[in-house]
Amino acid sequence: MATPLGLLVLTAETSPIEAALEALREALLRAFLLLFPLGLALVYLTARLAARPLEAVAREITRRSPDRLDPVPHRLPKDEFGRMVEAVNALLQALKEAKERERAFLAEASHELRTPLTVLLGHLDRLARNPMDLEALRTARATAERMRRLVEDLLALARGEVERNLNLHIVDLGEVAREAALEYGVAAEAESAEVLGDPDRLLQLLRNLVANAVRAAGKEGVRVRVRREADHALLEVEDSGPGIPEDLLPRLFQRFARGPGGGTGLGLAIAHAIAKAHGGEIAVESRPGRTVFRVRLPLLEEEA
């Protein structure tokens, strides 16, 4: 520094600063050497603790099999892993329901085939004792034909092909209703109402509805009605049974929907498919003491 008296030079010893910097470097190095392994250990422990629920879930998933489809228990948060486990549980539930539907289908098919098989075997036994019994022969042939049609219906329903197997004719729905009512011994009020349809399929629809009603209320509590309503034929099958549970109504016409009478709903699913194949619709109204199935089919046009 220049002054009037001359040049002033100030100096200082830097060794203390250098010593302090060296001490700081050594302290940082020691801290790094000490904290880095500790940090790695903490990261490892944290990862292990975080992965433990995932490992438990993975072990549970590996224990699942076609014979064990219960949901995987977990306490994961609603993150990606939690949503993944929920998706696995949804898949397991779908597989479980599909397996139950398969068992129900086999049980219902066996039930539907058992009665005509018993009738057929009885008439064949009669024919074995008396080969000239023409009535037994006709009944056996008719029963075998009904069984053949039932098997075709089951396959068609499974494949969604009911609408492709119609043999269309001009059909008096009132006459079909009277035939079904007479077969089951129930009351009928059926006026003439011509529709374009398959008479065998429509008779099957009536049989399914009437059979369900008879199981619910007995022959005396069932009534079949057919009347014209604008441009539709309205078919009603009413019974005075205990009614259908409210929670079952939205899925009543689905295949294998288990009804209060112990059935699996295959008959109602077939009835729904037949009504839809004829361009109509089927609905149900139910409360304790009164259940009504209504089928609306397009009336045959006068010009046709």
SS3 labels along the chain: CEECCEECCCCCCCHHHHHHHHHHHHHHHHHHHHHHHHHHHHHHHHHHHHHHHHHHHHHHHHHCECCECCCCCCCCCCCHHHHHHHHHHHHHHHHHHHHHHHHHHHHHHHHHHHHHHHHHHHHHHHHHHCCCCHHHHHHHHHHHHHHHHHHHHHHHHHHCCHHHCCCCEEEEHHHHHHHHHHHHCCEEEECCCEEEECHHHHHHHHHHHHHHHHHHHCHHHEEEEEEEECCEEEEEEEECCCCCCCCCHHHCCCCCCCCCCCCCCHHHHHHHHHHHHCCCEEEEEEECCEEEEEEEEEECCCCC
List b or e across 253-262, with b for residues whose CB sees 16 or more CB atoms inside 10 angstroms: bebbbebeee
Pick from 161, 151, 140: which is nearest to 108 by CA? 151
Would you say domain 166-298 falls under CATH 3.30.565.10? yes
**What does the pLDDT look like over 2-39, one tens digit per residue?**
556 666 665 666 777 777 777 778 777 777 777 777 77
In the chain, the N- to C-terminal Cα span, in Å, equals 124
Domain extents in the chain: 80-159, 166-298
The pLDDT, as a whole number, for residue 152 is 67
The two structure tokens encoding residue 37: 């392994």
The pLDDT, as a whole number, for residue 304 is 46
Pick from 296, 245, 257: which is nearest to 275 by CA? 296
Domain 80-159 identical in fold to domain 166-298: no
Angle between helices 173-184 and 199-217 (to 10 degrees): 40
Kind of pairing between the strands at 290-298 and 281-287: antiparallel
The pLDDT, as a whole number, for residue 165 is 66
CA distance 187 to 219: 8
The pLDDT, as a whole number, for residue 264 is 46
Pick from 139, 108, 112, 102: which is nearest to 123 by CA? 139
* Architecture in CATH for domain 80-159: Orthogonal Bundle (1.10)
pLDDT lower than 50: segments of the chain = 262-264, 303-304
The pLDDT, as a whole number, for residue 181 is 92
CA distance 255 to 225: 26
